[in-house]
Structure 1
Amino acid sequence: MAVPPSAPADDETTPTGQGSRSGLTVLSAVALLILAVSLVGGNDTSADSSRPPMPARPGTSASAAPSATGPATSALPRSKPVRLLIPEISVDAPFTDLAIGDKGQLEPPPAGDTNLVGWYAKGASPGEKGTAVIAGHVDTKTSAAVFARLDQLDEGDVFQVERADGRKASFVVDSAETFEKDDFPSERVYGDADRPEVRLITCAGDYDRKAKDYTDNLVVFAHLT
């Protein structure tokens, strides 16, 4: 995805969501708590800002999102991800942990490093049973960022996550979909899964200079293979 024709002039950006374009409070068995998510902090230099709503704890939902059909793959034990490899779009990036900040929003990866992705460290780890959330910036005010070409992924493309336990988890893309932020399907994106799945999230759509935010979020749905 290209950087906007001209970068917004104001450094104050509203908080984002990832992945895209991902504390947490405990999820009630009865209700799904929705929070605003930020991929960008308020005082960084990023033009990439999104606010997809997300449950208080991605990967755990009172009403789990159904998994795509297909043979089940044995889940891996929990292990911290260390590197994301997406050959199709030339991504080779280290991970940083993402947590929920004081305002109840997912803290973004540092915008100063354009080749960095973050994962929600209190959710499922990539390869573990459940829904792992990986977020990255699409751009900054000065250049494209790690997920600038995320929209080029297609069904069947494969990417890998290198883990701290030395294993390499391979994922196949099920779909890549763009959602308006005002109509973001949080339960579908963040709901629990009965197999190891990943969501890659970043910003998409047009850049609204008045709101200092992109209009949409791009979500890549994938499962362990």
Structure 2
Amino acid sequence: MAAAGGRSSARPRRRARTSLGLAAAGLALLCGCASTSPVRAPVGGGPAPAATATTPRPATPATAAPPTATGVTPMARSLPLRLRVPAIGVDTAVIPLGLNSDGTARVPPIAAHAPAGWYDGSPTPGQTGPSVLLGHVTVGSYGDGVFLRLNRMRRGDRVMVARADGTVATFAVDSVRTVPKSRFPTASVYGNVDHPALRLITCGGTRVSGGGGYPDNVIVYASLVAGS
């Protein structure tokens, strides 16, 4: 998902404070590859306050929400700290990803053992709406990325996200898709949904030689099945 200069060419739009959804936008998310079209500042609400995994922003108190159509009650806001995906051997820290000063979207660092990242313009995992987590498939000369095996996930696989308030949001995979970056499904990834959802995204396809990156994106769609 790496982009030149730490940028992503996905175009997630930040959530307006009064909206549950993210407006549709254009280009593919680049995971572990060079960027050709940096993302400018999204339209809508302003940047969220800065936060780090070591000094998480406190959870916002919220009135208990009614259960969704799936029968699972949405969780209050709380920052994600750790991601576990047993089916593919993932157990990693999660860091928040905001925007660079020039308005381009940040990605996890190109470094050994780079963690996954949570796009902080999306809901926190367990809240109503699509929470978006990004990870590298490869990290340059450092080798394999945290989401190397993301395309091996299957319907029903569990994904657990440990949160700053001490709770764990558990999701079940609904589907796994590999799509060309030129046809990135922005609306289905970032758009409104009526239940707590999760998106895990990385690069896919056969790596292009000469530093050309990857032609596709792998996207895992999942829904909350338990919060504790």
TM-score (norm 1): 0.74
Which residue identity lines up with residue 48 of structure 1 in the other structure? C
* Identical columns (%): 33
- In structure 1, what is the equivalent of residue 55 of structure 2? none
- Contact 2:88-2:152 at 8 Å conserved across structures: yes
Tell me if 1:181 matches 2:181.
yes
Unpaired segments ≥5 residues, structure 1 = 1-10, 41-46, 59-68
Task: State the Cα distance separating 1:114 from its structure 2 match.
Answer: 2.6
Matched, 1:200 2:200: yes
- Whole-angstrom distance in 2 between the partners of 1:82 and 1:12: 26
8 Å CA contact 1:85–1:160 kept in 2: the answer is: yes
Amino acid corresponding to residue 8 of structure 2 in structure 1: T
Q: Structure 1 residues 218, 91: closer, same or farther in 2, change over 3 A?
A: same
Note if contact 1:88-1:153 (Cα within 8 Å) is conserved in structure 2: yes
> How do 1:149-168 residues align onto structure 2 when only pairs under 5 Å count?
149-168=149-168
Query: Aligned residues, how many?
Result: 195
Q: Distance in 2 between matches of 1:88 and 1:167?
A: 21
In the TM superposition, what is the alpha-carbon distance from 1:106 to its structure 2 partner? 1.7
What's 1:16 paired with? 8
Superposition deviation, residue 94 in structure 1: 0.3
Once the 2 structures are TM-superposed, how far is the Cα of residue 213 of structure 1 from its aligned partner? Answer: 2.4
Residue identity opposite 2:25 in structure 1: I
Distance 1:33 1:55 in 2: 14
Q: Which residue in the other structure is 1:73 paired with? A: 72
CA 1:49/1:173 → structure 2, altered by over 3 Å: closer, same or farther? farther
Change in Cα spacing, 1:127 to 1:172, as seen in structure 2 (3 Å) is same
Summarize the Cα distance change of 1:180–1:57 in structure 2 as closer, same or farther, 3 Å threshold: farther
Which residue of the partner structure matches residue 48 of structure 1?
A: 33
Letter of the 2:172 counterpart: V
Shift of 1:77: 0.2
What is aligned with 1:43? none
Provide the C-alpha distance between the structure 2 equivalents of 1:196 and 1:57, rounded to a whole number of angstroms: 23
1:169 and 2:160 are equivalent in the alignment: no
Aligned partner of residue 105 in structure 2, secondary structure: coil
CA contact (8 A) 2:117 2:135 kept: yes
Tell me the amino acid that sits aligned with residue 16 of structure 1.
S
Higher relative contact order (CA 8 A, sep 6+): 1
Distance 1:57 1:156, change over 3 A: farther
Kindly report which structure 2 residues correspond to 1:1-225, keeping only aligned pairs within 5 A, or say none: 15-16=7-8, 24=14, 32=23, 34=25, 36=27, 47-49=32-34, 56=42, 71-142=70-141, 143-209=143-209, 212-225=212-225
Following TM superposition, by how much is the alpha carbon of 1:70 offset from its aligned partner in structure 2, in angstroms? 6.3
1:54/1:36 Cα in 2 relative to 1: closer, same or farther (>3 Å)? farther
Partners of 1:92 and 1:14 in 2: CA distance: 23
Aligned to 1:3: none
Q: Which moved more, 1:161-170 or 1:207-216?
A: 207-216
